[in-house]
Amino acid sequence: MNAETDAAATAGKDAKGDGDKPHFAQMKTDYDGLTPGSQAELRRVTAPGELLFKPAFYRLSQGRTGPGMQRVIFVLPFVAQMEEAKLQKLAKEEKRDPKWVMPPGRALAAADAGETKFADGKGEKLTSVGIRLMQIKRLEEPLDLIQFRRLVQHLTKSHSLLFDWPLLAWGLLAWGNPEKGKNKILRDYFRAKYVPSKKGKNK
């Protein structure tokens, strides 16, 4: 099973609330159903650990209050969900499996399309988003997550960034895992942004 198929299976299980795993699709629905005051309460926290003192956190955490769930709900208020119809359209255009899901790093690259490029001092040109992601890679937790949330907030407002929320949530849950968390999001971003497609263009 390849990485994208595995991710699709994981997201599919989440959509059904499989077993003891978090139900991230339901979490997004529950967040959207909170009062404006409760949503603002979550947006105002400045670090994941502060969520432990916010009642709204416990309404969404599904009985899980550890660092992983704190990371997920810390970013959630600034995420815009990609509609299923758009995902299916992208899958059809790219001749992918209908259950394909867009990796978070690729979603960041798609929102980054119009950004101005800057030299990085080594002959390469990165966008401002690419530079910020490299900075995030070098930071320790929770500073890296705080900066990531700020980037998501900025791109959601200015570039209509859309995520497949359950897949992003799994990445946040495994943030420190070099194969599934922050590093994977960054790898997927650079792969989508700079690796030529079969047509000779960047994805």
pLDDT single digits (tens) 36-80: 999 999 999 999 999 999 999 999 999 999 999 999 999 999 999
Least confident of 95-99, 143-147, 177-181: 95-99
Closest by CA position to 145, among listed 111, 112, 185: 185
List the beta bridge partners of residue 127: 117
- How far apart CA 157 and CA 50 sit, in angstroms, is 24
Give pLDDT, residue 201.
44
Predicted structure pTM score:
0.79
- Which string of b and e fits 123-139 if b means at least 16 CB within 10 Å? eeebbebbebbeebeee
Give pLDDT, residue 8.
37
Q: Cβ neighbours of residue 70 under 8 Å, at least 6 residues apart?
A: 48, 49, 51, 52, 57
- How far apart CA 26 and CA 23 sit, in angstroms, is 6
List the beta bridge partners of residue 42: none
Structure tokens at 151: 């980037």
For the chain, domains (ranges, CATH) are 3-194 (1.10.520.40)
Q: Is the pLDDT of residue 9 over 50?
A: no
Tens of pLDDT, residues 10-19: 433 333 344 4
What's the mean pLDDT in 125-139? 86
Tens of pLDDT, residues 135-161: 999 999 999 999 999 999 999 988 888
